[in-house]
Structure 1
């Protein structure tokens, strides 16, 4: 009975989440059309609403740990579900994402993504896509914000393994900026697929900076070690709390 109720609440939460996406997008549209700041404010408002409504509708709290960076940095994050996008955006003042090109054609999401300076990548173009990504990251009009890339290139379920993509190493080497790793446990509560949203505390944690200057291979090794170890620890902590 309790599980059935949680499913019902989860479905209602998902429905209102997309309704509110449209409402907030339309409310901010005149400002966002002419101002990147307006688009940023709309996205921050929406992320705040999702976190608030998840807490009171399905019992899913969210927590940001560590120190969110404010300057121009590269953020290399674990990616388990849509919720880590929400938490990253809500924690940062000027975020933008490296994202797959197909998302440009998603109503509302695609339009706002371009307004805030996200970098679309056509993953089917191989090295050509990598060169275009690097050029956009270094010379785009929003190059001084926090550039977020998901190190494994896609959502990875808790406990599953997937290689870290070379794109994050190429960005680190090209930008010559601090890299802030980020660990998550959000997939335990908000899965990459399915309707059920589980109660608990979803955590995004910013980890100690990896300074510029490493070669790509040792950088990738350090990044994977710290992100995977801390994500595993966050998941173990969450499972212990539920026991």
Structure 2
């Protein structure tokens, strides 16, 4: 009952504040992308604050969060990490499904922030678009963030990494930093109820650029599942 009450209070606070933040991002974006990113990061800290003091969730980080132009791949179990990465990184560039950028209002703000839409059916055209946009990001020293499983998965499951990871790895020529997260334990996908507890990030060893495709994929898959009970 207490978790349900906390979750209801969280929703009553978070979603209206999100609407206000999206509107503020729209205004800030008219002036500069840098100002918009600062407002967006504030949203990330609002989310973490509410998770901490309303839901009773704290964050623990094992290892050192990277900086600079690297490809960061996350385990994806909950909405939590998609927002919290704004706290982990000052100006992350996120590669997301194009459908998310087609949402009125939010999509414009996301593109202005630097979110790159992935059009999976466009073939070579999509690759050219990614190359151009990512070159801009890495040129300014921003990290590239990817959820290589493509969707949220329950804690303990280890689906194969989608082919897009290997394509990006070869395209970018960047080192990869894998990050495991166990958010699904207390904020499971498709569940209104969020429970108190600790959400852990575990930063894996950096995967060097230029390795054979299957080798890099296997290393990334193992590292992002390091907090799962079924991990090797």
CA contact (8 A) 1:55 1:61 kept: yes
Bigger helix fraction: 1
Which residue of the partner structure matches residue 96 of structure 1?
A: 93
Aligned residues: 229
2:68 to 57, 68, 71: 71
2:131 to 129, 135, 140: 135
**Root mean square deviation, CA, Å:** 2.1
Matches within 5 A, 1:203-218: 203-218=200-215
Gaps of 5+ in 1: 237-243
> TM (normalized to structure 1)?
0.86
Matches within 5 A, 1:38-117: 38-117=35-114
Which residue of the partner structure matches residue 186 of structure 1?
A: 183
Q: Equivalent residue of 1:142, what SS?
A: helix
> TM (normalized to structure 2)?
0.89
Which residue of the partner structure matches residue 228 of structure 2?
A: 232
Gaps of 5+ in 2: none
Q: Return the offset for 1:58.
A: 1.5
Supply the distance in 1 between the matched residues of 2:61 and 2:40 (Cα, whole angstroms): 17
Q: Return the offset for 1:81.
A: 1.1
Deviations 1:131-163 (A, max 9, x none): 245424444x33341111111111111122311
Which residue of the partner structure matches residue 12 of structure 2?
A: 15
Supply the distance in 2 between the matched residues of 1:183 and 1:133 (Cα, whole angstroms): 28
Q: Equivalent residue of 2:138, what SS?
A: coil
Supply the distance in 2 between the matched residues of 1:105 and 1:19 (Cα, whole angstroms): 21
Supply the distance in 1 between the matched residues of 2:25 and 2:123 (Cα, whole angstroms): 37
Which residue of the partner structure matches residue 170 of structure 1?
A: 167
Deviations 1:83-120 (A, max 9, x none): 01122221112201110111113354322210111111
